[in-house]
Chain A
Amino acid sequence: QQQVKQSPQSLIVQKGGISIINCAYENTAFDYFPWYQQFPGKGPALLIAIRPDVSEKKEGRFTISFNKSAKQFSLHIMDSQPGDSATYFCAARGTDKLIFGTGTRLQVFP
């Protein structure tokens, strides 16, 4: 019940395309859903986050869609750029800690 399932494991997108990463959870007590971006050799950096009372949040080219009834949320990267190539982690916060998905390695080719 504490798991967050993330897919796909890897994603290859052409420059200018849309990257979509999906996550699902089971614990209805989760109250905060952030996405982190991690470059090789670096720590995860907070990208965008959403709370369950909102169905969508957009910041620049990044959008989170949240479906509370299905217990799913997704990250959409519009107009994907080579600089977006990184590993993306979804997460969900329980009572006191973040539970992370297994990550999606995104490669954007020019």
Chain B
Amino acid sequence: NAGVMQNPRHLVRRRGQEARLRCSPMKGHSHVYWYRQLPEEGLKFMVYLQKENIIDESGMPKERFSAEFPKEGPSILRIQQVVRGDSAAYFCASSSRANTEAFFGQGTRLTVV
């Protein structure tokens, strides 16, 4: 039973480009959470999704950031027109139900040059 899979592990984008980060939850998990971690800092909640629904996006920046979790396929975190300040590690976690253990992926490290 594979864990939470994130890809790519490393992503380099120039300012103004788009970044697409993918997260495949653990088998049987339908709840996905995205977190951002800046260097030497903690994990900041961004968004919580269930299949085809955004449940809580209170941590998402109002502009340029969007997330989806379609019926088929991985969850996608999309960052449009990236800026240097978007450079961070982005972690995805999944759980089988709300309010149960969440398991994290290895993260995608985004570098904006």
Contacts and interface: CB of A to CB of B under 8 A. Distances in A.
A1 to B, nearest CB: 13
A45 B104 contact: yes
Interface residues of B, number: 22
Contact of A97 (B33, B105, B106): B33
Contacts of B48: 96-97
Interface of B: 4, 33, 35, 41-45, 48, 55-56, 91, 93, 98-99, 101-107
A103 to B, nearest CB: 5
Size category of the A interface is 20 to 34
B107 A31 contact: no
Interface of A: 6, 31-32, 34, 36, 41-46, 49, 89, 93, 96-103
